[in-house]
A and B are shown apart, each in its own frame.
Chain A
Amino acid sequence: MKNSTVSFLLNNDVVTLDNLDPNLTVLQYLREIQFKTGSKEGCASGDCGACTVVVADLERNNPNRLHYKSINACITFVGNLHAKQLITVEHLKEGAKLHHAQQTIVDNHGSQCGFCTPGFVMSSFALHKHNKAPTRAQVLEALAGNLCRCTGYRSIIEAAITSSEHIEEDASALHYQKTVAELTTLKKLSSPILSGNGHKYVAPKNINELAYELVSEPKSTLVAGGTDLALSVTQNLATINQLVYVGNVEELTTIEETATEIIIGSATSYSQFIETLHHYYPDLGEMIERIGSKQIRNTGTLGGNIGNASPIGDMPPALIALGASITLHLNGVERTILVEDYFVDYKQTVLQASEFIKSVQIPKPSNGQTLKIYKISKRIDDDISAVLAAFFIEINNEPQEALKVANIRMAFGGMAGIPKRAKATENIIIGKVLTKEVVEQAKTALISDFQPMSDVRASDKYRMTVAQNLIEKCYLELKFAQESNVIETRVVNYA
């Protein structure tokens, strides 16, 4: 296998990385090697957005078009830039003229200390690249990963909501075709490699290359978005010897649908699959919109959320409730298991050495099936759940058997060392007509399913009480719906 170097466009210039430690983040690269200090380090953990930069990539289904997305430079490894365009805040101004995304912040008095400002500019820039007249809701969704401690946000919202429809094309638009051509050329290079300081980064382009890398170097660390992995470097000061990037692997970045299933490649980002899942399961779509931030959803992947086996990942409980399966690949041999069976114990899974997650299969809903998801956290946006509850309910359609539960799968995150089903509780409910009494029995049964712990996010008692109350809430929502009673039941729906 012949490798090329990691090459990308830094704004308009082709850059080739050589003899550089692949543990380096994009932010470190920009600030310490390129001396571009416009992008700020506020946390080095992807929580504040001060480092936000924009990455342009060829659209998967239309390689003549560019897709612009905001990412956190502080938790993106520099190798991930290969064959992409990195756009930084310094690049937007043309001569003395500020870009629309910049001028609107000035006009609305949206910068005070200014430290978060470049990040907001870049998030707004990315938003307007695909949506020149965003709604308030779209602005909030795009900017929720940028923290500001000074303004109280009103002025920044006003700035970002200002239409860019009648603004002349910016420099990136004028260079559009050239950029497409350059990225197309870079894409055609063979799989890139980056070495430095005795550490290595490889980015295989297909599943065979990936399998080969993992068999020859079983101690390799897989990286997709890196939104969790990079924290081990920036926060725990770890050094990773060999990084294997899965984001370029053709077979891992697809979304397919069959008559009964949605099949999502493990290296597909939230932003890529949210629409499909929202279509079939609105609650799931809304929950995904609250996972991390726009920047995190643009890079974080489904495989990553399952693979790191966190007890507080939000996708696994949803997938378990849906009865989704997962396909694992080891040196050409594949096996498919239920997501539920993937998790063994705290941070332990059935994944073997050199094996990787290829895809996740999610069943499409059939008549009478409803997915209810509740994400409970201290802050509504960009916060890890204290409790995540996912209930997949099959209810008889017969009017005389209203609210009779034919089947239910209830899975929780944050309630145990792994994402887990509440089987005792399910057994109470299955086959019964939902009533207040059944709900009370289910609440009691939940105590035998879980013994949650206390931590910085919530106490054990709160976790249990809320989990129990969510069963009640689910019941009330089903009841209201059945009675055609339009009553708002969730505060998150108040924008």
Chain B
Amino acid sequence: MEYQSVFLGLGLALFLIGTAGALVRRTAIVVFLSIEIMLGGVNLVFLTFARSTQSADGAFMVMCIMAVAAVEAAVGLAIFFRMYQKTGSIDVERFNLLKW
């Protein structure tokens, strides 16, 4: 069907935009938003295939992803908050202590 390729293309575009944003942007919140966009793209692909195969599996997966994303948002924001309290900035380039 025609609408499938449109939705799949849209999903891919969202995913790539999200990826680019996550890799390029420096502000932690924006990186985080970009990841949310990537998840949105993935969700769209899931739903498309769920629709075309007449199965509830994809929709179920999407529900799970959305639940995880919501939790992630809460945890992520708490982390950024602490980062800002500690250093006065949420620039990811400055958090390079994750090494030996």
Whether A associates with B in a native complex is: no
